[in-house]
Chains A and B, each alone.
Chain A
């Protein structure tokens, strides 16, 4: 019995990787939501952007807009920019954070630049897009009734070649 509960963790992780559910499986977390959702035009939200780099990485990393106004149920695009001012290639890997915490479950990134290593050549500068939406369910959640600003923060770390950033909660297993 105890063995089975220990096996549950890696089995669940395999299940999540295979089905692409990733972290916490939240209802409505698949692409059919995007196709069928409708914007809730009266609920305007400000999404503020923050960028951090860990002390060890020498990239210049910053958002290209300090904020953007979105509504739940509508896909939105935003940009960060990263520059490698040094003379050697640097590989970075990023993670992100959303505050307020409870709003994070409604913040869905369709595509971005996080959790996989990104390599910048010497003196290279690139645009880094984030394509996301706020789930329309946000508007029905009474806990979110007074939330009108959501802050998205990305942090870049320097990565070694072939490294993948473990999602918090999973133990890291080199591939």
Chain B
């Protein structure tokens, strides 16, 4: 890490999270969703892309229980998982 004398070297500067801190889920209200997500990861060699539906479900659980500020899912990067409103009858899945 850096000391006062290291003017030339750069050091890592932590940045605060964009939306702040998650409140702690003291009562484990969303634990079931977390378990589903972790199970999905275990089954898919920890490939996040395969488990985005489960991560969306977990975050929705938090939002419903005041454990996360409610936010439209597009703003959390899940727009591809939402059914687009279309006049044709096709249901797109990611």
Contact = CB atoms under 8 A, between A and B. Distances in A.
5 contacts: A22-B16, A23-B15, A35-B74, A104-B12, A116-B21
A14 interface: no
A31 interface: yes
A101 B19 contact: no
A139 interface: no
Contacts of B28: 126-127
A77 B13 contact: no
Nearest to B54: A77
B68 to A, nearest CB: 7
Nearest to B69: A111
Contacts of A29: 18
Interface size range on B against A: 35 or more
B76 A70 contact: no
Interface of B: 10-22, 24-26, 28, 30-31, 34, 37-38, 41, 45-49, 51-52, 55, 58-59, 68, 74-79
Interface in A127-175: 127-129, 131, 133, 167-169
Closest 5 CB pairs of A and B: A75-B77, A77-B55, A109-B17, A22-B16, A23-B15
A157 B51 CA distance: 32
Contacts of A53: none
Interface residues of A, number: 54
Contacts of A127: 25, 28, 30-31, 34
Contacts of A74: 48-49, 52, 77
Nearest to B41: A65
A23 B18 CA distance: 11
Contacts of B59: 77, 131
Interface string A49-73: 0000000000000001101111100
A126 B3 CA distance: 35
Contacts of B38: 64-65, 79
